[in-house]
Amino acid sequence: MALALPLAIVGYVFYRITKIFEKVLGPLANKFGVENILGELTLTFLAILLILAIIFLLGLLMQVDLIANLRQSIEALILKFVPSLNHLKLIAAEKIDLDNASHNWKPVLCTKGDEVFPAYVIDENAEWINLAVAKGLSTEPQNMLVVRRTAIRYKEITMKQMHDCNKAYGKGYISMVE
């Protein structure tokens, strides 16, 4: 049900947008005489091609840093108001295996001096540890740290524990530290 409803909404919105584009493309297709090349489905086919072209262009725009940062800001704002959406996002990412790199990271609770913070161990050797520090309210990394193994201690935790504590504004980490 959690995936069926969003898929149904996306399907309905895609159908409505296709119909709008058919109405917009109708006069243009009549002018060029291509409204019946493929039969009754010509306008639908042209509308879908136009939608795919727009989606492709929007994908190209996501390569621009300004647009990508805007998307991240909007997503963070939405996640503030709908925290359960982040949980659904994590479930979906695990199910379809989109985040291969982050699945290989080990979630940990790090202690550095008097500081305790959630992070992922990305890489480690005998002397150094490379960490991706998780940002609040989500499990996405905020920044990277490369520290000496002697300067930090960590305790392995599960991704669910990290997600639950981050979603609760850090509540629960203290019990894991003790």
Name, of 17-26, 135-144, 161-170, the range with top average pLDDT. Answer: 17-26
pLDDT recorded at residue 140:
64
Rounded Cα distance, 73 and 29, in Å: 39
| Amino acid at position 2, single letter | A
pLDDT tens digits for 79-88?
888 877 777 7
Q: Residue 147: helix, strand or coil by DSSP?
A: strand
Mean pLDDT of the chain: 78
Q: What is the DSSP letter of 149?
A: G
Task: Break the chain into its structural domains and give their ranges.
Answer: 4-96, 100-177
- Pick the more confident residue, 116 or 34: 116
Rounded Cα distance, 2 and 18, in Å: 25
Domain 100-177 matching CATH 2.60.120: the answer reads no
Does the pLDDT of residue 100 top 60, yes or no?
A: no
